[in-house]
Structure 1
Amino acid sequence: MSGMRARQSMTFPALQRAALRALAALTMLLATSVRSNFVFDDDPFQPVTQDETVAVGGVVTLTCNVKENDNSSLQWSNTAQQTLYFGEKRALRDNRIQLVKSTGTELIITISDVQLSDDGEYTCSIFTMPVRTARATVTVLAPAAPGVPGKPVITGFEDAIQEGGKVTLTCTSSGSKPPAKLHWYRDQEEIQGRPDVVESNPDEPTYTVTSELTLTVTRNDNNALIACAVDHPSIANGDKRTERPISVLFSPSVSIQPESDLPREGEKFFLQCVGNGNPEPTAFVWRRKDGELPPMAKVDDAFLHFESLNKSDNGIYECQADNGIGMGDVTHTLLVQDPTVMSTPLGVDHAVIGGVVAVIVFIMLCLLIVLGRYLIRHKGTYLTHEAKGSDDAPDADTAIINAEGGHSGMDDKKEYFI
């Protein structure tokens, strides 16, 4: 019996030690799990997003951030898992979606003219190992008042159109009752589209109206605003409209702008080739019609520089500009002026004009002096004679006669006093 008790007393401490070991292992496992969860929640590479709410026709901004980056790119995807932007690179041809900011730790995009079809869950991903993702739910609010047409949506602007080509644009407005009317505008001028197509919406007593516009574009249409406006009795403050600029690709028109209109021999001088096209021309070629370019002339892209002009530089120069769509060229005639010949006529003209003005002023001064002295002298003589006649005459008539007679009778009128 005593031996059995001894064995039992030895067994219990062993069981206690095993239980203590299991409890310690479980504690370490829980601590590891907690620590693992803590690290995951504070993962510097985990993208962070937020949900957004926007009304139909509005603009929604999607922002994705990470604390750190290992040179991996951030990516936004739409509800259909189509890539919208991968870093700075556009992946989906939808001009409603624009890039706002792209850095190693942040990717911000906007979606304009939001429609009900844009409602859903968007995904931001960073392609680390493993790939980390975050989701943002965009809730699109339908128009509050039933029967009021939504803001029109224009499609067909996905790509630029080459000059002379045709483009068909489609304008759609839904949710109106009675059906709305659509109008097309180019800038502020109304243009005629095809008749409206009206369709009833199956789940509600409203209508969707669609109109198409086909344009044959010219370079004058580049950057023109094409607008679609909704006309409906429920719209109190005018029409609802959507405006989109149209992009037209066209070959450049070229001109040459000289540094000055009177290039002089010995001076520095340049010709600049200016090309107006879409896209802007990036390649320029300079030629001289009557021979090779002068040895002192240097081509610098759109500029042709002359270090020191010489009469031998006279000639017809041609510039050709290329923008990938087409080429344009223009010529300019360079006539180098002799600086000595140009300055002499101007100097002579100024000297002659100055001399003539000086002579005229001198003559006028002399005439004024002579005329002044003449008037002063005659006025004094008249006053002296009149005074002498009046002193000796008993009346006015005698005074005038005496004044005209001069001094002939002065000796007869003398009186002597003894």
Structure 2
Amino acid sequence: CPGVLGPWVALTLPRLVMVLSSLFQGSSVWNSITAVLGKDVVLPCSYKVSEGERVVQITWMKRREDGTAQELAVLNWQHGTYVQTAYSGRVLRQSEGSLEDGSILLKNAVQADEGAYECHLITFPGGSFESSLTLKILVPPLPTLNLGPPLEEGQGRTLAASCTAEGNPVPTVTWETEVRGTDSSRVSSHPRSASVTSEFYVVPGRSMHGKALTCIVSHPGLQHKKRITHTLNVAYLSDASVLGHEEGEDWVAGKEGAFLKCLGDGNPPPTYNWTRLNDPLPSGVKIKGDTLLFQRPLNSEDGGVYVCQVANGFATKEAETTISIKGNRAKQVDVVSISMIGAGLISVVLLGLLVLVVILMTCYHKRKTKRITEKYEEELTLTRENSIRRLHSSHSTDTRNQMEENLPLRSESRQGSFRGDSLCRESLRADSLCRDSRQGSFRADSLRETSLCSVMSEEAEGRSYSTLSTVREIETQTELPPPPPTPVQEDQMEKEKEEKEQEEEEQRDSEKNIKQAMTHFVQENGTLRAKPTSNGIYINGRGHLV
């Protein structure tokens, strides 16, 4: 009855429209609701009653694609809730109590749940009302990453990986990586969904090995972006090289701890092998991984061209080095022998120096002895001449008888002069030590003592006397009484007397020295001979013998 219901509809319909609004999943359209596949969704329907008014029943309907309606559930204030068998267990009343809130809960939403839903209310005494909403099911993608063919260094543009994501609506696929490359995408449509596939291409190189390649998928049904990371695996093999021996370097025979190391990097990890060109490996070497170890000192047989081979499943490379052993024929020098040779050379040098010193000292003493001998001969000659002069001066007044007595004495002196010459020389040499310290009286002492030695003789009875003492006795026996002296003669006589006393004192000293010297002689058949001795030595630097 339009006349009766018109005013009431004008008042209640706006209130129903206001409460039937989409409040789920952040939808911006008030009559449209979105739900994620497999999640629960609330279909809202509520009515604000006026005083004296009551909601009697609510019926939920789904509009099919052909336009027909399908009942889901009926909510009655007296009989409770009724759900159709097709939705049994999946449709529940959102809240208990009055039917002012007639919202229902759709559990485990599927893509078949998409479509238009209608809420029909019957109030008393207000009548019936209805409202509709649209449910959209979001299908989140499940991205997959598919690898391309194996990457090898030296290839051209090659597919590294592809990333595929299917959902509703169409997901977005991007790449994140440090590797330089290009990508391309294609989209495929399916009933109620669509899929996108993105491919990433690279030019393989060893610098890419181990780098990350990440596929990123974005979709409204995902709370966070999905990321799938793949580590690039690039097969490569670097050039081989040898460590431990430089080109042109010579190894020395006897060297210890020698080794050769093969350098080569690759993916997959390479294996190493050592060979010697045209010859087998020498004995005493060991291959340990990438290193060739010489476990003994080097010898001449270790020379040759050594080849290092590096191989993996991708490639094989080689490097070689030429080893030459220096001093193959040279004998090893013994350290002990070197020490002995050095010690011998030092000994020879020291011995040579000692011999040189001895020769120099011998030459020096010979020259010194020669100079002393010449000086001694010169002094001896002067001493004899002085002795002769003194004898002549002392016997100038002697008579013929004195001369006759002196003749035998002189004859005996000449006969014994040869035998006693050594005694005189030894006495002179001994006394010269004292005379050296008396610089002022050297010449006079030498003359007096030499004079005494030159006139030494032997008597028949075996006692020895000096020539001067014999002459002195003769002068005393033949002395004549002197004439009366004049004053001048008295002075002269006093001088002569003083000189005579001085001479007598000197004679006494000489006789004492002669007696001391006579202990070194023996008398045999009227001849004085030096006592035999084996210890004649130099007693001072002037070369005098004792």
TM-score, length basis structure 1:
0.37
Q: RCO greater where, 1 or 2, for CA within 8 Å and sep 6 or more?
A: 1
Higher strand share: 1
Largest Rg, 1 or 2: 2
Higher helix share: 2
TM-score, length basis structure 2:
0.29
